[in-house]
Every structure is written in structure tokens, then in C-alpha cells.
Amino acid sequence: MTKLVLKAAGLGALGGAVFVFLFPKGAITTLMHEVLHLPGPGAGIAAVLGPFLLILSLLFYRRAGGPMVVALAFSVVVALLAALVSAMNPKGMFSTIWLVLACAVCSLGVDGTLILARRLKPVWRLVLAGVAGNLVLLIFYWLVIFPQSAGWVLWGDVPILLALCVVFGILAGLIAWLVSRAILKYIGSGEEVDDVRTR
């Protein structure tokens, strides 16, 4: 159990460091609003932060609380690195406790969906959890974080951002399923592989 928690925390921390390295200040905003001309605020959360966090956390979908550990480690590392090197856009408030709260709420949505959908096949569980987690994260940002930093989202922009959020949630769930299946095939025990194939 301790080993599993350490593994989940390590993966989350590594993912947080990679996230800060990959997306320098202003890159996500420029990509979403200037290049892709998507409305905002929220497009970067729905299409970048949410899927990135969900793919990492859903790799631990087989243990209750695993996604929560990954999400907390991820958010703490991102918040610390963003505060230390001021590497992230202030609009997302990445260097504050709000990011940790947002990731915690998102992982509650993920864990809850995984528990409610425990009788489904793994691929559907992960897709549902991906969509639920992404929606929870986006709505938390819209209601709690963006009003402090970027303003309220316009009603007219809500449908397209929700659709974007659902599509990227589905993609995150599918990618997490493919990656976890590949990992179990190579390094997991036979019992775990059978478990994934049959459930």
C-alpha cells in the first residue's frame, strides 16, 4: 500500500515537473486563443491541463484513492515550481493553493465516477471518469478561479467549451486505458492482465 502511494506520488510529481517544463508562461493561452481562436477562459483547462492531469491520475484507476494521490502530488509540484520560477500564466493561478483545491476536487469527481461505474468494462470506466473529471475541473475553474483572475465566462461560450471539455475527457480516458493496458501487459502480473481483459 505504501509502495503504491509512493509510486502514485512520484508519478504525479514527475508529471507536474514535466507540465511546467512543457508549457511556459503564455504558451497555452496563445495556442488556444490566438492560434486556434477558441473562446475563453477555460479552453486551456479543458484541452491541456485537464487531459494532462487525467491521463496521469487514471493510470492508477485500479486502486481507490490512487487518482487523488497523483492529482495532489501533481498540483503541489506545479504550484511550487510555478511560485519559485514564476513560469506559468497568472490567469490560471497555478502558483496558489487554488490549483491544489481544483485538482483535489477534480480527482474526487474521478474517484467517485470510478466507484459508481465499477461494474463497467475498464475502457468505459476510464472514459466516464475522464469526462467527469474534466467537467468538474473546468466548472471549478469557471466558478472559483477565473472570476478572481480572468473574469466570468460568457454564456455564449459555454456550449463550445463544454463540448471541447467532453471530447478531451474522452480522449484522456482512452489514452489512459491504452497506456495502462500496455503497462500491465509488460510489467504487471498475469492476474492483473486477466483482470483488465475480463472486467
Partner 1 sequence: MCGPADYTALHTMMLRVLLLSGAGLAGYTLWGTARLLKNLLGKKRTRIPDNP
- The verdict on 34 binding partner 1 (CB under 8 A) reads yes
Phi, psi torsion values for 125, nearest 5 degrees: -60, -45
> Which residue stretch of 8-16, 20-28, 66-74, 120-128 sits at the interface with partner 1 (rule: CB under 8 A)?
20-28
> Which residue stretch of 16-24, 51-59, 159-167, 189-197 sits at the interface with partner 1 (rule: CB under 8 A)?
16-24
- The verdict on 194 binding partner 1 (CB under 8 A) reads no
- The verdict on 4 binding partner 1 (CB under 8 A) reads no
Report the alpha-carbon distance of residue 181 to residue 125 in Å, rounded.
13
* Radius of gyration of the chain, Cα coordinates, nearest whole angstrom: 16
- The verdict on 89 binding partner 1 (CB under 8 A) reads yes
Q: Which residues have a Cβ under 8 Å from the Cβ of 173 and sit 6 or more positions away?
A: 54, 58, 123, 126, 127, 128, 129, 130, 131
Among 12, 16, 41, 50, binds partner 1 (CB under 8 A): 41
Q: Which residues bind partner 1 (CB under 8 A)?
A: 18, 21-35, 40-41, 89, 91, 150-151
